[in-house]
Amino acid sequence: MSISRRDFLKIAGLSSLGIGFSATDLLWKDRAEAVEYMSSPKGLTAKRWAMIVDLKKFKTEEDYRRVIDACHRIHNVPDFGNPKDEVKWIWTDTFEHAFPFQKNEYLPEGIQEKKALLFCNHCDNPPCVRVCPTKATFKRKDGIVAQDYHRCIGCRFCMAACPFGSRSFNWRDPRPFIKEMNPEFPTRTKGVVEKCNFCVERLAKGLGPKCAEVSNGGLIFGDLADPDSEVRKILKTHYTIRRKAELGTRPSVFYIIGGDEDA
Amino acid sequence: MLEKALTGSRRYWGWIFFLLAVIGVGFIFYLRQFAYGLGITGMSRDVSWGLYIGQFTFLVGVAASAVMLVIPYYLHDFKKFGKIVILGEFLAVSAVTMCMLFIFVDMGQPIRIMNVVLHPTPNSIMFWDAMVLNGYLFLNIVIGWTTLGADRKGVAPPSWVKPLIYLSIPWAVSIHTVTAFLYAGLPGRPFWLSAIMAARFLASAFAAGPALLIILALIVRKLTKFDPGKEPIQALGKIVTYAMVANVFFLLLEVFTAFYSQIPGHMHSFEYLYAGLDGHGKLVPLMWTSAVLAVVALILLINPGTRRKESLLVVACAAVFVSLWIDKGFGLIVGGFVPNPFERVTEYWPTMPETMITIAVWAIGLLVLTVLYKVAVSVREAQLESGTDSTH
């Protein structure tokens, strides 16, 4: 195929214009913000997404397992089978370890050993975002603390900064350890940090987080900034606690520990 | 001047090739780490920084300590440091080089390191640390090289260096303050969450750095015709003494706050380091070694009779250096991660590849130091032969 002189000049002219524009872009415009998903018109939006964990609804081992497995499966979270390489987005620990500042040896029976579901708190004042030297982790306008796996340099400052142990690092290539690959969600490379993303990829499609979907009402997701939202209604009528709230990170995940059966 | 590093005795070249061999072995291990990932080290989800970041932290201190020669010489006109201030500046160059390499080998995605510059983030202390470390490296190379070059010609250094020298003083303080801020501003790590962290860092730096410098000066005297002199070494000995006293004092302040307040989170890391926690105590022997060495060093340093004896002073300096290396290059970092945010204990110990990479970075630092000291010593030796000595 040959191109005429005229076509060539047209292409050359347009390309140089393009280069010129990208250069001015670089110099004059704000630097590209890290983004993960562009929201579609169907997408769910909020001012500040939040989650309520109603621990009363988690009765059997299976109740926890279903939630954890669903999350890890759709997000291609690897299973290394050893604690040293471990990567996890959502998991459990007993009350006294989940809420170490709430030590109380006289708690009602069963609470001390009760398992709490743990995941990223999507703090309103997130220390991980504050310390990240590349803005690879950032807070979105809807309050979600997100992570750009392609910008992360793997310095792990965010892991030192997170008071909740919510972040995992890919100490080695995770791909061979993903049981069944979900092609809809990116896999990660070795050397980057990852964590729960409140299912931003599903919110963009108009769906709520997967964990809440399969939790049989144990996890309630909604907009904390909207006084009429379900989460606000529950918060108004139930006593809830947050993990290490005294540290001032303002977690967006609330826990109902005991009380009335129905939330 | 660099050509002076290209001629040397058999011993000199033997040492250079030995270092190159160590670097070569470490590089092979680094290639393995590069291919496999940081899982090759002993670090984990719970203890996510280890030996590399510990070495970085310790060496920032060694680098900052050059200021302990610069202040007396340039601000107080303490002439006796005239001939050895260059040894401090070149030590700083070598130490900062190692700092940068330790950060580099600790990166999960080292090829993306320029993201720190491409997406500058002033709210991250890591960004400021990168800035001040690069600046400090630049300052010390320029100052050291220019003043030594002027010395060689027997002329006064050009006037534009003076402002840089004065700038290097607060800059040295800044590199270690910023490094302390990496740790001291994190909400969930009570062991590091201490206002005295930067002061403690500086105190330990001004003890460990000059202690190393005394040892290096004595090696230079033994191996070359250049004698750094008895008095400068004694003056440095006093600096090490005061700084080490301050460092131990600051550490005891931390212990008081933790244990008198009885706040569990503040006590746990100390308990883990010095007594063991929940049956885990891998670091206990190491931390007590550090404590005992600190006491031995203080006895030898505070007592003027022992401090004035060079043979004992060097023992004290070695004790200071090893004690602080354990305390800051290892215990301080690992202790901050134990127990984890769930008050569970996960222990850490470096692996063989991790150790080899660490040793190789030290070897690179020693290589830089050897070459720079060779140049400096050659200039001093030439001055002795020709009888031109601009510094006296």
Q: What is the mean pLDDT of chain B?
A: 94
Q: Any idea what the Cα angle at residue B280 is, between residues B279 and B283, rounded to 5°?
A: 140
- The reported pLDDT for the residue numbered A8 is 61
Report chain B residues whose CB lies below 8 A from the CB of A130.
123-124
Q: Are residues A24 and A104 in the same domain?
A: no
Q: Are residues A237 and A194 in the same domain?
A: yes
How far, CA to CA in Å, does B13 sit from each of A73, B2, B368, B369, B378?
58, 15, 14, 14, 15
Residue A7 — very low, low, confident or very high, per pLDDT cuts 50/70/90?
low
Q: How many C-alpha atoms does B138 have within 13 Å on its Cβ side?
A: 9
**pLDDT, tens digit, 9 for 90 and up, residues B131-177:** 999 999 999 999 999 999 998 888 999 999 999 999 999 999 999 99
The whole-angstrom separation of Cα A143 and Cα A230 is: 17
Q: Are residues A97 and A198 in the same domain?
A: yes
- The reported pLDDT for the residue numbered A25 is 47
DSSP letter at A37 equals: -
DSSP sequence for B170-208: HHHHHHHHHHHHHHHT-TT-TTT--TTHHHHHHHHHHHH
Q: Does some domain include residue B131?
A: yes
- The reported pLDDT for the residue numbered B385 is 80
Q: Does some domain include residue A44?
A: no
Q: Are residues A130 and A20 in the same domain?
A: no
Q: How many C-alpha atoms does B146 have within 13 Å on its Cβ side?
A: 15
Task: Judge contact between B267 and B258, C-beta under 8 A.
Answer: yes
Report chain B residues whose CB lies below 8 A from the CB of A119.
none
Q: Does some domain include residue B283?
A: yes
Q: Are residues A2 and A107 in the same domain?
A: no
Q: Are residues A246 and A199 in the same domain?
A: yes
**pLDDT, tens digit, 9 for 90 and up, residues B198-212:** 999 999 999 999 999
A18-24 average pLDDT score = 49
The whole-angstrom separation of Cα A186 and Cα A116 is: 28
Identify the helix (H) or strand (E) that includes residue A49.
strand A49-54
Is B7 at the interface with chain A, CB within 8 A?
no
Report chain A residues whose CB lies below 8 A from the CB of B43.
171
**pLDDT, tens digit, 9 for 90 and up, residues B232-277:** 999 999 999 999 999 999 999 999 999 999 999 999 999 999 999 9
Q: Does some domain include residue A41?
A: no
Burial class (CB in 10 A: 0-12, 13-18, 19+), B254: middle
Task: Judge contact between A143 and A124, C-beta under 8 A.
Answer: yes
Interchain proximity B187–A169, CB inside 8 Å? no
Q: Does some domain include residue B238?
A: yes
Q: Does some domain include residue A204?
A: yes
Give B315-334 as a 3 state SS string. HHHHHHHHHHHHHHHHHHHH
**pLDDT, tens digit, 9 for 90 and up, residues B209-235:** 999 999 999 999 999 999 999 999 999
* Nearest Cα residue to B263 out of B196, B187, B334, B190: B190
Q: Which of B48, B49, B187 sits opposite A127 (nearest CB)?
A: B187
| pLDDT reading at A20 higher than 80 | no
Rounded to a whole number of angstroms, the distance from the CA of B207 to the nearest CA of chain A is 28
Interchain proximity A160–B126, CB inside 8 Å? no
| pLDDT reading at A135 higher than 80 | yes
Q: Does some domain include residue A38?
A: no
Q: Does some domain include residue A88?
A: yes
Q: How many C-alpha atoms does B195 have within 13 Å on its Cβ side?
A: 1
| pLDDT reading at B339 higher than 50 | yes
Task: Judge contact between A257 and A111, C-beta under 8 A.
Answer: yes
Domain count, chain B: 1
Q: Are residues A24 and A113 in the same domain?
A: no
Of residues B261 and A7, which shows the higher confidence score? B261
Q: Does some domain include residue B392?
A: no
The whole-angstrom separation of Cα B179 and Cα A101 is: 29
Identify the helix (H) or strand (E) that includes residue A51.
strand A49-54
- Percent of chain B scored above 90 by pLDDT? 86
Identify the helix (H) or strand (E) that includes residue B368.
helix B352-386
Domain count, chain A: 2
- For residue A247, give its domain range: 49-256
- The reported pLDDT for the residue numbered B383 is 84
* The pair of three-digit structure tokens given for residue B25, joined into one six-digit string: 């072995």
Q: Does some domain include residue A146?
A: yes
Report chain B residues whose CB lies below 8 A from the CB of A85.
39, 44
Report chain A residues whose CB lies below 8 A from the CB of B48.
156, 159-160, 169
Is B279 at the interface with chain A, CB within 8 A?
no
| pLDDT reading at A49 higher than 90 | yes
Return the CATH number at B78.
Answer: 1.20.1630.10
| pLDDT reading at B304 higher than 90 | yes
Report chain A residues whose CB lies below 8 A from the CB of B183.
160
Q: Which of A127, A170, A193 sits opposite B186 (nearest CB)?
A: A127
A202-215 average pLDDT score = 95
Q: Which of A131, A160, A172 sits opposite B36 (nearest CB)?
A: A172
Q: Are residues A56 and A85 in the same domain?
A: yes
What's the start-to-end Cα distance of chain B, in Å? Answer: 22
Q: Does some domain include residue A214?
A: yes
Residue A2 — very low, low, confident or very high, per pLDDT cuts 50/70/90?
low
Q: Are residues A83 and A208 in the same domain?
A: yes
A82-86 average pLDDT score = 95
Interchain proximity B108–A191, CB inside 8 Å? yes
- The reported pLDDT for the residue numbered B334 is 97
| pLDDT reading at B368 higher than 50 | yes
Q: How many residues does chain A have?
A: 263
Look at the block and give the residue holding tokens 């470490």: B26
Q: How many C-alpha atoms does B201 have within 13 Å on its Cβ side?
A: 31
A102-113 average pLDDT score = 86
Rounded to a whole number of angstroms, the distance from the CA of B190 to the nearest CA of chain A is 10
- The reported pLDDT for the residue numbered B4 is 85
**pLDDT, tens digit, 9 for 90 and up, residues B110-127:** 999 999 999 999 999 999
Rounded to a whole number of angstroms, the distance from the CA of B352 to the nearest CA of chain A is 16
The whole-angstrom separation of Cα A224 and Cα A143 is: 10
- For residue B373, give its domain range: 2-225+232-386
Among A223-232, B78-87, B165-174, B379-388, where is mean pLDDT lowest? B379-388
The strand ranges marked E within A103-188 are: 115-119, 137-139, 145-147, 168-169
Interchain proximity A155–B106, CB inside 8 Å? yes
Which of B53, B105, B121, B349 would you mutate first to test chain A, the one with the most A CBs within 10 A? B121
Q: Are residues A223 and A250 in the same domain?
A: yes
Classify A146 as helix, strand or coil.
Answer: strand
Q: Does some domain include residue B391?
A: no
Q: Does some domain include residue A163?
A: yes
Report the complex ipTM: 0.92
- The reported pLDDT for the residue numbered A42 is 82
**pLDDT, tens digit, 9 for 90 and up, residues A215-248:** 999 999 999 999 999 999 999 999 999 999 999 9
Q: Are residues A237 and A157 in the same domain?
A: yes
| pLDDT reading at A260 higher than 60 | no
Task: Judge contact between B217 and B234, C-beta under 8 A.
Answer: no
* Nearest Cα residue to A259 out of A234, A238, A241, A231: A238
Burial class (CB in 10 A: 0-12, 13-18, 19+), A184: exposed
Among A54-68, A84-98, B69-83, B313-327, where is mean pLDDT lowest? B69-83
Q: Are residues A18 and A101 in the same domain?
A: no
Rounded to a whole number of angstroms, the distance from the CA of A228 to the nearest CA of chain B is 33
Return the CATH number at A167.
Answer: 3.30.70.20
* Nearest Cα residue to B214 out of B196, B232, B190: B232
DSSP letter at B343 equals: S
> A–B: how many Cβ contacts below 8 A?
145
Give the chain B residue nearest A191 (alpha carbons).
Answer: B108
Q: Does some domain include residue B209?
A: yes
The whole-angstrom separation of Cα B205 and Cα B370 is: 21
- The reported pLDDT for the residue numbered B125 is 95
